[in-house]
Amino acid sequence: MYLIGKTSLNLHLPPISQLNLKCSLSFLQEFREKYPRTADLISDVILGEQISAEIASTGEEYKITGRDERHQIFRQIRERRGQREFRDALRKRYYNKCMLSGCETLHVIEAAHIQPYRGPQDNHVENGLLLRADIHTLFDLDLIGIDPSSHKISLHPDIKSEEYRKLEGCFLQCPNGAGPSKQALETRWNIFKVRLKQPCN
């Protein structure tokens, strides 16, 4: 049972080990679509528990600091909610597809910032890409670059896997010509070109 404010939520769910992955993901997506507010509240509780667990697991001696860090937790919650709205806007703009691979499996498609997130203004739809989770990671590591003028895709030479090499020379998929910010892409492209001179490790 979760106690959120004065509201208690009794969720009787089978252990995740008793569900196959496909069914588990399907349930979570359906639950969020039907009860978005409740899902947010549960996520807030889980986030607080994760933060508490991280603090508890440091092994350091407890010291009273006098600092009130609750605002940081609330800030993280607000940012996460903004991230969901950002993803929804990108899904609508790019038709629920990874813009590099064409993957349509929503469970593994993520909202990627072109310019790293520094505040709510960076959740602008033109500062985002819809990417499959693994491709998102490579993009964040500047191992995948996107030419800002042609939208042609380049890979760091140390990326050897054929799964990724086949993306080399392809183009960013932008339905109806609604692409991302050229200025944002230019900044990341310049970073990628510097990364090309460095080993992939």
Whether the model pTM is above 0.75: no
Going from the C-alpha of 65 to that of each of 48, 60, 69, 74, 108, the distances in angstroms are 19, 14, 10, 19, 41
Across the range 121-144, mean pLDDT stands at: 95
Instruction: Report d(CA 103, CA 164) in Å as an integer.
Output: 13
Contact in structure between 152 and 171 (CB atoms under 8 Å) = yes
Query: Tens of pLDDT along 76-116?
Result: 555 555 588 899 999 999 999 999 999 999 999 999 999 99
Nearest to 137 by CA among 167, 110, 166, 106: 110
Query: Tens of pLDDT along 140-199?
Result: 999 999 999 999 999 999 998 999 999 999 999 999 888 999 999 999 999 999 999 887
Nearest to 74 by CA among 114, 47, 105, 38: 47
pLDDT value, residue 83: 84
pLDDT value, residue 112: 94
Query: What SS3 state is found at 128?
Result: strand
Instruction: Report d(CA 15, CA 168) in Å as an integer.
Output: 42
Contact in structure between 108 and 132 (CB atoms under 8 Å) = yes
